[in-house]
Amino acid sequence: MSKSLTLRNFTNSPAVLMGVLLSFLEVKWLIEKKVEYKPLSVKTLLTSIKNISELTVDLAYSAVLFNDAELREEVLELEEYVDYLIYLLFMSASFAVRDKEDAERMAGIMKLAMAANRISDAAGDIASTIVRGEGLRILAHAFSKTEERIMRVVISKGSPLCNKRIDSLRGQLGVDVIVIRRRGRLLINPKESAKLIAGDAVIIRGTDKSVQEFKKIAEENVDEK
Amino acid sequence: MSKSLTLRNFTNSPAVLMGVLLSFLEVKWLIEKKVEYKPLSVKTLLTSIKNISELTVDLAYSAVLFNDAELREEVLELEEYVDYLIYLLFMSASFAVRDKEDAERMAGIMKLAMAANRISDAAGDIASTIVRGEGLRILAHAFSKTEERIMRVVISKGSPLCNKRIDSLRGQLGVDVIVIRRRGRLLINPKESAKLIAGDAVIIRGTDKSVQEFKKIAEENVDEK
């Protein structure tokens, strides 16, 4: 019996390798919250983690630049959501591991996901930075991309934007819808054919003028007139 | 005398505030290498740090996906370059600090720069990940953007690309030149009118076919024919 507990056998165990990985996760969040397991493929999870982590960087710089509290809140929520996806990825990856080769393969995927997680963590730090005065002028120069603006807007009931396709908005208002948050679900880079509905919180990208115009129409209530 | 050393006076000192900041820098590199100070504005430095850190993320995913050792090396060098810029930023910011208000303003800028630094560090971790087999297929799905490819190419002496303007390359070959490394200097997002010269190491972005074609022409030597 004692023979099977040598260090060599021990480290060859996929479960132990995964356990070692988990210890590197630093997902304090896991300990703090009860998390529900949802079966999603490793491929789907890794794609989401990558896309959301890249998105958070863009949103975070806009949140600072425009001192936008709603955008800041969105970044912090997305950052937490990435933590949750990392947890699901670890579960799905563990289930897929049958031998040492599988474990090594999954270790690469986990390493990437954790680096992507650190990117979204850094985005959270960026979003929660407050800069004022001269600092803001320096920032505006460093972080402005051809006067592009990102904004979070909620579509009100009775807004003319309800039932509008996303691609028609690009043509009419010059605005890209990059995220739709609908009843707690998150749609990143939604399909061209997706339609907006009342209550959607959307993140849009465009010139300052075009996003302001979008916001105005989103908050209009035609029914009340 | 002892009165002026109370904790309150102590933390009010801009130099001490900056010193506290530096302790958070985690730039091990500073200790390991002798660094030369170059006077650059806070604005210029912050812009570079932001741009390079975002660029490294893109390059890193490509390095993993195409198992491209040169691109991996480039990411690790850029990551180190960001550390150097952070050091210069700290120097320039310190010089600009005259009172507590200045220090608070600069603290925001430093916090942003350090978060951007963590992004490039994470990119370094991504670049140095090796993924094989099934893992690579999962990765290709997660990290491929509409078949876009990034590649590092050196322009050989006598290549037809010498003296070609960057914007003409986009038209002729469908390739964007995103970085030029010339005699140790780094040009990020070079001007449209910039011309390539022999010995330039360039990072290009385009379809797989177009970057391969660019590489072929870059390594051609017309003079030898």
pLDDT at B26: 44
pLDDT at A17: 54
What is the rounded CA–CA span in Å between residue A73 and residue B122?
23
Mean confidence (pLDDT) of chain A: 81
Q: Where in chain B is the domain with CATH 3.30.70.1450?
A: 146-224
What is the rounded CA–CA span in Å between residue B107 and residue A136?
12
What digits encode the pLDDT tens for the residues A148-196? 788 999 999 999 999 999 999 888 899 999 889 888 788 888 888 999 9
Q: Where in chain A is the domain with CATH 1.20.58.220?
A: 9-127
Name the CATH superfamily for B7-127: Phosphate transport system protein phou homolog 2; domain 2 (1.20.58.220)
pLDDT at B47: 87
Residue of A126, A132, A141 to mutate for B, most B C-beta atoms under 10 A: A126
Backbone phi, then psi, for B14, in 5-degree steps?
-55, -40
Which chain B residues are within 8 Å of A132, Cβ to Cβ? 105, 108
Q: Using alpha carbons, list the distances in angstroms from residue B159 to A158, B156, B198.
A: 62, 5, 8
Residue of A41, A48, A112 to mutate for B, most B C-beta atoms under 10 A: A112
In contact, B43 and A142? CB cutoff 8 Å:
yes
pLDDT at A13: 52
Contact B122 A105 (CB under 8 A): no
Question: Which structure tokens are listed for B112?
Answer: 């942003």
| B195 touches A: beta carbon within 8 Å | no
Which chain A residues are within 8 Å of B57, Cβ to Cβ? 54, 57, 119
pLDDT at B144: 67
**From the list B108, B112, B132, which residue is nearest A105 (CB)?**
B132
Helix (H) or strand (E) holding A79: helix A69-96
pLDDT at A11: 46
pLDDT score of A142 more than 60: yes
Q: Residues 4..63 of A with a Cβ closer than 8 Å to B: which?
A: 42-43, 46-47, 50, 54, 57, 61
Question: Which structure tokens are listed for A196?
Answer: 């907006």
What is the rounded CA–CA span in Å between residue B116 and residue B46?
9
Alpha-helix runs per DSSP H in chain B = 7-12, 14-24, 28-32, 42-65, 69-96, 100-127, 134-143, 166-173, 208-219
Contact B143 A50 (CB under 8 A): yes
Q: Which residue of A has its CA nearest to B105?
A: A135
pLDDT at A140: 79
**Rg (chain B; Cα; Å):** 21
Strand-pair partners of A154: A201
pLDDT score of A45 more than 50: yes
> Angle, to 10 degrees, between the axis of helix A42-65 and the axis of helix B42-65?
170
Grade residue A37 by pLDDT with cuts at 50, 70 and 90: low
pLDDT at A106: 84
Residue B225: which residues within 8 A CB-CB, separation 6 or more? none
Low-confidence stretches of chain B (pLDDT < 70) are 1-39, 144-147, 223-225
Which chain B residues are within 8 Å of A98, Cβ to Cβ? none
Contact A133 B105 (CB under 8 A): yes
pLDDT at A18: 55
**From the list A50, A61, A129, which residue is nearest B111 (CB)?**
A129
Q: Which residue of A has its CA nearest to B56?
A: A119
Tell me the CATH number for domain B146-224. Answer: 3.30.70.1450
| A9-127 classified as CATH 1.20.58.220 | yes
pLDDT at B16: 52
What is the rounded CA–CA span in Å between residue A71 and residue A80?
14
Closest Cα in chain A, distance from residue B106 (Å): 7
Q: Where in chain B is the domain with CATH 1.20.58.220?
A: 7-127
Q: Using alpha carbons, list the distances in angstroms from residue A24 to A209, A220, B60.
A: 45, 49, 21
Closest Cα in chain B, distance from residue A70 (Å): 19
What is the identity of the amino acid at A61? Y
Grade residue A123 by pLDDT with cuts at 50, 70 and 90: very high
What digits encode the pLDDT tens for the residues A65-122? 888 898 999 999 999 999 989 988 988 888 878 888 888 888 888 999 999 999 999 9
Which chain B residues are within 8 Å of A43, Cβ to Cβ? 138, 141-142
